[in-house]
A and B are shown apart, each in its own frame.
Chain A
Amino acid sequence: MKQPEWYYPRDIEEFREYIKLDGVVIYGGGTGLLRREIRKFAGFIDISKLPLKFVNIAGEQISIGGRASYNDVASEFMAQKPNSIMGKSLGKAASTPLRNLITVGGSLAMAPIWSDILGPLVALDAGIELIGENEGEFAVCEAIRERKIDSKTLVKQIDFTDDFQRSYYYRETRTRFDYPAFTISILANLLSDRTFEDVRIVIAGDKNRFSRLDSLEDKLIGQEIANLDLPSMIESLDLEFADKKHGSSNYLKHVAQIQLERGLKKIVEE
């Protein structure tokens, strides 16, 4: 029977050599690759020896290696920066053992519509550094929309500044161990009079795959929640979903609107 080759690059240079081969694919230890027909690949590039498993939190500057697992990220954030959306989002995704396997880079490479990491990184305006066929530094949005992370491109690291005092994360699921129909990520800084100094709102899992609600953000800046007609502001947004197993497009839209309203109210509490 046909057998694959296995490559174990010890540094980036060695990695760059291997991706020149035909029919090889990066294996980062995550679960994404296994959803595909792996027997068609001629070889696997195991990147576990590359120094990509790190979570560096230096105050507001954060740098996360592409092979950091969801648990790596969640536990570091819950310990050092518990208010951050990163701990809240990745700590709830999938299940305990799967969070040890799902990697930041792998999630972004597959970028499935149900990903828990997409919303937060878009909200944080994260940048991503890629090595391989599509080398370079990109905004996460760009890398995803232009499908830059392919089978021969790995995520070296993501970087972002997280100077938000408050964060809110919501995932719409059926049972608790479930992929989300959509997620809502909200980041905010408030002034002492409880008006929004800065706010970021991202819905992931909609028809655009993810949407940053900047028109809503603009309407909130300098405002106090209590003075606003949130429901009609949200109603006027162009939120659309596909029919999913969790619910029909109409229902998901209805629930997303309500949960968005609740999220905005919740984030200004306490």
Chain B
Amino acid sequence: MGKYKNIGKSVRKVDGLSLATGQEKFFDDFPLDNPLYLALLYSPHAHAEILDIDDSEARKMCGVVDVYHYKNVPRVMHTTAGQGFPEPSPYDNVIFDKKMRFVGDRVAMVAAESEQIAKDAIKAIDVEYNILPAVYDIEKATDNNVPQLQGDDAYVPIPVIFKPEENIAAQVEIAFGDLKKGMEEADFVEEHTYRTQIASHCAIENHGAVAYIDDRGRLVIVTPTQVPFHARRIVSKALSIPVGMIRVIKPRIGGGFGGKQEVFLEQLVGLVTWQHKRPSRIALSREEVFVSSRTRHAMRVKIAMGAKSDGELTAIDMDARMNSGAYGTHALTVLSNAGSKVLPLFNKVKHVHFLGKTVYTNLPVGGAYRGYGATQGYFAFCQEIDNIARKCGQDILEYYKKWHIKEGETSGIFEALGEGKEGVSQYIRSCKLTECIDKGAKAIDWYAKRNKRIRVGESKVKGVGVACCMQGSGIPRVDMGSASMKMNEDGSFNMYVGATDLGTGSDTILAQIAAEILQIPVEKIIVLSSDTDLTPFDVGAYASSTTYVSGGAVRKCAIKIADQIKDVASEMMSADKEDLILDSLYVINIKNKKKLSFEEICCYSLYTNNQFQIQAEASHYGKESPPPFIAQFAEVDIDKRTGHLDLISFVSAVDCGQPINPKLAEGQVEGAVVNGLAYALWEEYLFNSAGKMTNPSFWDYKIFTTADLPRMVTIVEDSYEETGPFGAKSVGEIAIDGPLPAIANAIYDAVGVRMYEAPFTSERIYNRMKEEGVI
């Protein structure tokens, strides 16, 4: 380490300048030849049955080409979740249903010659509804007298619990040891219930897709998707078109964060274009994205911990209930992660129980969102740890350092909690959490501020809080990525990866990995990614899999290429392959110092003798999912008279193994943190009593701008994961897990009240202080 040409170097992103000059194209930037524009009609009711749709007036309008709804679109049950097949999510979705299950559910679609005509025609569609009673409360949704939200044709493709008659979209339970015994062994038991809120990804690019028929009659879909291969398969199923007749291309994506790991618009453009043999385009407005795309699931977590008076935990009982919204996409897997990514952190607890239920309600639909259940789980877990440490009079930093999972250790949770099937046992090979805690504490000057309630000005008081978290690096034995490469005459290489760059820079870091193996500058790797016709398979960008899994495939592929280069060179030089090394676009014979350029070698291989194309491919899946670790610290000043919170500093110290590109790794942490900060303080979905979202715009759904930033410190700790490419683990999600609990713990440190509900608006902080008699 420290001897790399390309690894650990903050090289410029391969697409950076093109993006900065407005050159790179996003889905809506491609010129289309005479396209049809699509607009959607949404349900105004939270729960209703469509008795009839009369589209005759809309069809009469000049420029309207077609109108689609339940009467004329085939009903194929599927899930919109971008997951591996068979998906661990219920097949409870059809393109257009007769039943509407939330305000914002899809009633009908118009295809017209212009966007304005389509929007006007939507208003001319006459719909007769039978309004049904709606359910919004997750605790009540499973009661007997509550309407069943899913129809009889909803089912799960894999053998997992699915109880639509109880409005249960998913259920998972694991236990080891004896919980009752564990709680009895404790000197005291703490139990609290925590609630997180529905949130939106707020990628600056709204969702959309375009489709066209190519010159050979195949359906081509250009879509900002995190999951091109899953999209192809799901479209094939939903429209009954063979996979081989569909090509999915991912252009630049303007942010995803899980919101674009969902296949719900591609079917629409596919449907229209396949039928009318014309290009079609759908582009959602920001309001439609808030209401009718996907959200972060709200979750209620009741957590009980039994502890000895010296702080040792004897038992943990986690009871999570998650709000699926109207459909069950990611219902099982997000739920499972609330336990599977959280509980192993304290692996020495002998008696553990996790029960999770995801329930259907008549609300916007939850889906994948950075952190993926761990974020919600850590809100409860890290606050309860803070509570327990305080009750035992323990220094919380020493407490974390003593009890967190260490290198060489394992946890029963890894095997017990998978994603729809059994998990995978693993031992931790790299963990620098203790170092992260120490460095982070220093950066925020922890001990000068903790438990001190330093007065700031007339009525503000200071507090600091910490949260330690782990995530994963891909889903072990499930997520697979693949890469292929070929050599060109000037020593450059084309590299094809299925892996999906959604702005994360995966094109760049995968090129860095390949360039390192070949010992060449990164610029010599020409990356083409995420085109189902041209690039090999990859599950896509989710589960923090790209660096670890797709990077593994690239590494293997590049090694094969290096080997072929040496084969040719040894023939050309009549040398032993073992004496040859690659160095800066040359192959050098270390015995006699003779060298051949990559150009000479490639030309020889293509034109001169024993001709072949130097090319290779490789696939990789993780046998483990080595977790990155993070320690995050928040410093806040609370105004005791108003409840206003000033965010002063936020420090993150992360162990992500060897960062392939330090600036990009930091960027992942910083972006996730600032998202988490707004989620902690202001982001939430507000609804009226009829289930309609009342704040579907940035006007009233508040995210941070530069003006809201606290002092931000990001530390990437030296670490090395032997199973990862060049020692790397992934880092895409983990930093969003800490802000909620770290800030909540800081609020407690400042004013002695615990925030059981997020977000911590000024009024909520004020009310909690009043409730606890602090003011």
14 contacts between A and B (CB under 8 A): A174-B682, A174-B702, A175-B702, A175-B703, A176-B707, A177-B707, A178-B702, A245-B694, A247-B763, A248-B763, A251-B762, A251-B763, A254-B642, A258-B641
Q: A251–B707 contact, CB under 8 A?
A: no
Cα separation A22 to B391 with both chains bound (whole Å): 74
Q: A258–B702 contact, CB under 8 A?
A: no
Q: B116–A251 contact, CB under 8 A?
A: no
Q: B686–A247 contact, CB under 8 A?
A: no
B112 to chain A, nearest CB (A): 12
- Chain A residue with the shortest CB-CB distance to B642: A255
B287 to chain A, nearest CB (A): 13
Q: Which of A1, A95, A179 contacts B116 (CB 8 A)?
A: A1
B699 contacts A by Cβ under 8 Å: yes
On chain B, the residues within 8 Å of A174 by CB distance are 682, 702, 761-762
On chain B, the residues within 8 Å of A175 by CB distance are 678, 682, 702-705, 707-708
Cα separation A184 to B696 with both chains bound (whole Å): 28
Cα separation A178 to B701 with both chains bound (whole Å): 10
Cα separation A157 to B682 with both chains bound (whole Å): 38
Ranked 4 nearest A-B pairs via Cβ: A176-B707, A247-B763, A251-B763, A175-B702
On chain A, the residues within 8 Å of B700 by CB distance are 245
For window 231-270 of chain A, which residues contact chain B by CB distance below 8 Å?
Answer: 245, 247-248, 251, 254-255, 258-259, 262
On chain B, the residues within 8 Å of A248 by CB distance are 763
Besides the known contacts A174-B682, A258-B641, 14 further A-B residue pairs in the complex with CB atoms under 8 A apart: A1-B116, A174-B702, A174-B761, A177-B707, A178-B702, A179-B699, A245-B686, A245-B694, A247-B763, A251-B763, A251-B766, A251-B767, A254-B766, A259-B642
B695 contacts A by Cβ under 8 Å: yes
B residues sitting closer than 8 Å to A (CB atoms) are 114, 116-117, 458, 641-642, 678, 682, 686, 694-695, 699-700, 702-705, 707-708, 761-763, 766-767
Residues of A in contact, count (CB < 8 Å): 17
B245 to chain A, nearest CB (A): 36
Binding site secondary structure of chain A: loop
On chain A, the residues within 8 Å of B707 by CB distance are 175-177
On chain A, the residues within 8 Å of B695 by CB distance are 245
Cα separation A255 to B641 with both chains bound (whole Å): 8
Binding site secondary structure of chain B: loop
Cα separation A247 to B705 with both chains bound (whole Å): 21
Cα separation A245 to B703 with both chains bound (whole Å): 14
Q: A247–B678 contact, CB under 8 A?
A: no
Cα separation A244 to B682 with both chains bound (whole Å): 14
On chain A, the residues within 8 Å of B763 by CB distance are 247-248, 251
The interface centre, meaning the residue of B641, B642, B705, B766 with most chain A CB atoms within 10 A of its CB, is B642
A residues sitting closer than 8 Å to B (CB atoms) are 1, 95, 174-179, 245, 247-248, 251, 254-255, 258-259, 262
Q: B686–A176 contact, CB under 8 A?
A: no
Cα separation A1 to B121 with both chains bound (whole Å): 13
The verdict on A247 contacting B761 (CB below 8 Å), with A175-B682, A179-B699, A254-B642 known, is yes
The verdict on A247 contacting B762 (CB below 8 Å), with A255-B642, A258-B642 known, is yes
On chain A, the residues within 8 Å of B682 by CB distance are 174-175
- Chain B residue with the shortest CB-CB distance to A255: B642
Cα separation A179 to B705 with both chains bound (whole Å): 14
The interface centre, meaning the residue of A175, A177, A254, A259 with most chain B CB atoms within 10 A of its CB, is A175
The verdict on A177 contacting B705 (CB below 8 Å), with A1-B116, A258-B641 known, is yes
On chain A, the residues within 8 Å of B762 by CB distance are 174, 247, 251, 255
- Chain B residue with the shortest CB-CB distance to A245: B700
B650 to chain A, nearest CB (A): 15
On chain B, the residues within 8 Å of A178 by CB distance are 702
On chain A, the residues within 8 Å of B642 by CB distance are 254-255, 258-259
Cα separation A176 to B698 with both chains bound (whole Å): 12
- Chain B residue with the shortest CB-CB distance to A95: B705
Cα separation A138 to B695 with both chains bound (whole Å): 36
- Chain A residue with the shortest CB-CB distance to B684: A245
- Chain A residue with the shortest CB-CB distance to B62: A1
Cα separation A86 to B267 with both chains bound (whole Å): 53
Cα separation A210 to B700 with both chains bound (whole Å): 22
On chain B, the residues within 8 Å of A176 by CB distance are 705, 707-708
- Chain B residue with the shortest CB-CB distance to A177: B705
On chain B, the residues within 8 Å of A259 by CB distance are 642
On chain B, the residues within 8 Å of A247 by CB distance are 761-763
On chain B, the residues within 8 Å of A1 by CB distance are 114, 116-117
A239 to chain B, nearest CB (A): 15
- Chain B residue with the shortest CB-CB distance to A248: B763
Cα separation A262 to B460 with both chains bound (whole Å): 13
On chain B, the residues within 8 Å of A245 by CB distance are 686, 694-695, 700
Cα separation A177 to B701 with both chains bound (whole Å): 11
Cα separation A248 to B708 with both chains bound (whole Å): 23
On chain A, the residues within 8 Å of B116 by CB distance are 1
Cα separation A245 to B117 with both chains bound (whole Å): 34
- Chain A residue with the shortest CB-CB distance to B701: A245
Cα separation A253 to B458 with both chains bound (whole Å): 20
A259 to chain B, nearest CB (A): 8
The interface centre, meaning the residue of B116, B678, B702, B704 with most chain A CB atoms within 10 A of its CB, is B702
Cα separation A214 to B642 with both chains bound (whole Å): 25
B666 to chain A, nearest CB (A): 23
A133 to chain B, nearest CB (A): 30
Cα separation A177 to B707 with both chains bound (whole Å): 8
Cα separation A95 to B682 with both chains bound (whole Å): 19
Cα separation A254 to B642 with both chains bound (whole Å): 8
On chain A, the residues within 8 Å of B117 by CB distance are 1
On chain A, the residues within 8 Å of B708 by CB distance are 175-176
Cα separation A255 to B114 with both chains bound (whole Å): 49
A31 to chain B, nearest CB (A): 12
On chain A, the residues within 8 Å of B761 by CB distance are 174, 247
Cα separation A255 to B644 with both chains bound (whole Å): 10
B711 to chain A, nearest CB (A): 16
Cα separation A251 to B642 with both chains bound (whole Å): 9
Cα separation A95 to B706 with both chains bound (whole Å): 11
Cα separation A204 to B682 with both chains bound (whole Å): 23
On chain A, the residues within 8 Å of B686 by CB distance are 245
Cα separation A1 to B168 with both chains bound (whole Å): 49
